[in-house]
Amino acid sequence: MPKVDLHCQLEGTAHRATRAKLALAHGGEAGVDVDELSGRASATAFVGAFDQFSSLLQTPADFELLVYEATRDAVAAGITYREMLFSPGYHLQRGVAFADLWDGLSAGIDAGEADFGVTTRLILDIDATRSVPLVLALLQLIRNTDRQTLAGIGGEASGFVEEDGALRRVVDDANAIGLNTCFHAGYDAAPAQIASLVDAGVDRIGHGARLLESREVAVRVIERDIPVVSCPSSDVAMGVVGELSAHPFREQLRRGVHVTLSSDCPALSGLDLADEYALVGETLGKIDASVDDVIVAGIDAAWLDDSQKRSMREELASFRRRESMDATAKAGS
């Protein structure tokens, strides 16, 4: 069924074969296998693997290949629209020019849309391990990029929330140049960090697995209808939640949080968005919710205008109509 993916880390989509190909071209290691990480990776191991993948990306053609392949994978998972997080901080510090990275990504996105019909937009990870002045300088660098391609900024916010007013300044600066914001309350971010994101005026919250630990913070998120972009398998792989059945996604949905389902790092977790829906979908009946409720929550949280969202909802409805007509025809034959 057609669906959207609002939190997918570009560098976390690289297949082992692609990594091996890039390692051969540039020297270096293809990185650990998915099996070595999946289900029991510590955050440090996860970030280390991610760093290793990132180091293999050097030329515009590398970025083009990666996003093109990710788009092909998106089709297989039934994704029609995706907002992908990419992390220039990792690449710029290794000497990759922003223009090369941007040109490669733009070319891959265009080719992917032409060949597979999937729309991809980017979210720039501002990398909160940097200082605020550096981040503001990065915002200057992207000031004139195409807003159809670059939809917003995001990433881990823990480095900023500790500094008074810093995240608010970054959010305001991004908004001023037409960019949306989705920051992580990832790893084991406590509700206090989620509250800081709300205070800073972010448009969406990434992960947010611990939101319900504070009734007060949960109420604020619900009342402001701030979408929470949940990535259950990634949370399990990172060790934030012990196992998928214990993940709070379903409970967040039941309590009225605008929670959506995304894939995060499919090549690392070994699960794509279709797998996520299959796993979560099995248990939704227990809370009187359906898979379509979750898909529509994702569409509503996407950084698209109302008419684009309407046509995506219609696409889902017509998919369901075709599906039920097929089932009727099958039963009658």
Which two structure tokens, joined as six digits, stand for 177? 């140049």
Q: How far is the CB of 4 from Zn ion (least distance, A)?
A: 16
Applying CB under 5 A, the span of 75-83, 120-128, 214-222, 257-265 interacting with Zn ion comes to: 257-265
What amino acid is encoded at 233 in this protein?
S
Query: Which lies closer to Zn ion via its Cβ, residue 264 or residue 276?
Result: 264
Q: How far is the CB of 189 from Zn ion (least distance, A)?
A: 11
Count the residues of the shown chain that bind Zn ion, applying the rule CB under 5 A. Answer: 1
Name the closest residue to Zn ion (Cβ).
264
- Distance (Å, whole) CA 101 – CA 38: 29
Hey, what's the torsion of the CAs at 261, 30, 33, 266, to 10 degrees? 10
156: contact with Zn ion by CB under 5 A:
no
Contact string 216-255 vs Zn ion (x = CB under 5 A): ----------------------------------------
Which two structure tokens, joined as six digits, stand for 12? 């976390």
- Distance (Å, whole) CA 271 – CA 52: 20
Q: How far is the CB of 253 from Zn ion (least distance, A)?
A: 19
Query: Which lies closer to Zn ion via its Cβ, residue 60 or residue 204?
Result: 204
Q: Exposure of 269 by Cβ count < 10 A (0-12 exposed, 13-18 middle, 19+ buried)?
A: buried
Query: Which lies closer to Zn ion via its Cβ, residue 119 or residue 269?
Result: 269
73: contact with Zn ion by CB under 5 A:
no
Extended strands (E) in the chain: 3-9, 79-86, 119-125, 150-156, 180-185, 204-207, 228-230, 259-261
Q: What's 264's DSSP letter?
A: B
Applying CB under 5 A, the span of 91-99, 126-134, 242-250, 264-272 interacting with Zn ion comes to: 264-272
Which two structure tokens, joined as six digits, stand for 261? 């389902």
Query: Which lies closer to Zn ion via its Cβ, residue 83 or residue 264?
Result: 264
- Distance (Å, whole) CA 240 – CA 233: 10
Q: Are 48 and 86 in contact (CB under 8 A)?
A: no
The torsion angles phi and psi of 54, rounded to 5 degrees, stand at -60, -35
264: contact with Zn ion by CB under 5 A:
yes
Query: Which lies closer to Zn ion via its Cβ, residue 58 or residue 180?
Result: 180
Query: Which lies closer to Zn ion via its Cβ, residue 60 or residue 191?
Result: 191
Q: How far is the CB of 261 from Zn ion (least distance, A)?
A: 13
Q: How far is the CB of 207 from Zn ion (least distance, A)?
A: 6
Residues found near Zn ion in the complex (CB under 5 A): 264
